[in-house]
Amino acid sequence: MALRFEDITEKNVDDLLSVCGNMPGIGKNPHFIEGRAARRQWLLETIEKSGTAGMLAYEEALPVAFVECVPAHAHPLGPFAADPARTAVIDCAWYRQSAGVAARKAILDEMFARKWFDKMLGKKCKYVDVLTLKNAPIMQYDFYKEYGFQDAIELRGHATVRYLLRYAVKGEKIAPRVEQLNFCDAGKNVLVLGIYRQCHMPFMIAGKVRRAVEGIDGLTVKVVDYWSTSNPALCEAAINGKPAFDGPVFFMDDEQIRESIRAKMI
């Protein structure tokens, strides 16, 4: 597979968007449409600030994979960085199934070979951070570990444990640690749903949950953009200071969502 690489700029934002969110029929979902518009605007704003938002890979004329990246100081995970001024954060990375995960690896190889992270930061990059999940089709822990990223922070406290991995450009050993995260508590029986403009999926999940819980007596729903409030963009749905769901809400039907929320109300 012969690939060519381009920086993500305003000229190829739509090429990037064609790589993800292309499941049949998804374009008719109003929450996808809302989330996709928000994501596109965020990319354009990021490019305006940083000059780029990452790197795209093409197989001939077809965009097949991307790695999105921003400076740590512009990312909610920045406070967890070992050296924020010299840290880049991979915010999203995806690929077409036809290209496979090898295309993502090829992009990372190209970024390091070009010293792309140095150019984005305007100084020598010391670390590249990425937030991952274990045993999941997205945010793949195993891929980044095999590439050479090291365990840095295990983020506990939510229904799903997240793992912040760190690539040390000079190869030094990273000492891992654990951070305990608190749930958002907006008041009695207020269901807090987190969205962020970097992905269409939170908009779809928030829309699904809001529809499912409509009509539950005594329940208020509050949707919060965690990036705009400078809170970590990994806060799960919460109610009364506790996790609203005991597992991935994406796979729940409406009745399971309602049962879970009613069980957590006081």
| Mean pLDDT to the nearest integer, 3-16 | 96
Is residue 260's pLDDT more than 70? yes
Residues 105-164: pLDDT tens digits? 999 999 999 999 999 999 999 999 999 988 877 778 999 999 999 999 998 877 778 899
The more confidently predicted of residues 205 and 250 is 205
Residue 234 has a pLDDT of 55
Residues 12-49: pLDDT tens digits? 999 999 998 877 888 899 999 999 999 999 999 999 99
Name the strand (E) or helix (H) holding 254: helix 254-264
Domains of the chain: 4-180 (3.40.630.30), 190-264 (3.40.30)
* Residue 228 backbone phi and psi in degrees, to 5: -70, -20
State how far the Cα of 7 lies from the Cα of 16, in Å rounded to an integer.
Answer: 11
Mean pLDDT over the full length of the chain: 91
Residue 1 has a pLDDT of 66
| Mean pLDDT to the nearest integer, 179-190 | 84
Residue 229 has a pLDDT of 66
Residues 84-108: pLDDT tens digits? 999 999 999 999 988 999 999 999 9
Is residue 231's pLDDT more than 80? no
Rounded to the nearest 10 degrees, the angle between the axes of helix 201-213 and helix 254-264 is 70
State how far the Cα of 10 lies from the Cα of 24, in Å rounded to an integer.
Answer: 26
Amino acid at the residue 198: Q
Is residue 248's pLDDT more than 90? no
